[in-house]
Amino acid sequence: MVVAQVQSGVPNLIYQVSWEKLPEDYPLSEEPVENTSQPLLAAALRESLEFIGFFTPERLIASNLGICVTVIFEPEGGTVEVRQLVEGLYQVQPDEDGRYWIASMNLYLGIWYGTKAERTGYWLRWWDENGNLLLWGTERLEQELDTPHG
């Protein structure tokens, strides 16, 4: 068993994480794992948050975000599992119409299918508490161009 202690960002609160070590004879591929979509997916997820001013200078350090959520996203199949820290344990959260409420952010996280940056597929996207999709920069620009200016 492997054990690690993780500082939570809250004074005097440290989480202990443990997992089973792989057997010595476990076959690992010698081929490098290349996930070329990961940086694009992460940047797209962050982009909407930047437009709504979520990242302030005080929040630029991850531990200052105060978000205790784990998300496992499979972009090829469009599946997601969201776990939130509840009473010291990460618990699987139920979805609400395909979206997951992240209370610490006051936003929903969900899956969207479409095209961005020449990649068509499943994306993680943010929605506000009223169910409005938070737009990417290109979508905001398109919306502005489509709006007649009086």
Confidence of residue 39 (pLDDT cuts 50, 70, 90): confident
In a domain, 111, yes or no: yes
In a domain, 27, yes or no: no
User: Would you state the pLDDT for residue 87?
Assistant: 81
- Tell me: pLDDT of 18 over 80: no
In a domain, 22, yes or no: no
Domain that holds residue 57: 36-146
Mean of pLDDT values over 68-92: 87
Contacts of 38 (CB under 8 A, 6+ apart): none
- pTM above the 0.75 mark? no
Tally of structural domains, the chain? 1
Mean of pLDDT values over 36-41: 79
Mean of pLDDT values over 107-129: 93
Contacts of 41 (CB under 8 A, 6+ apart): 73, 75, 123, 124
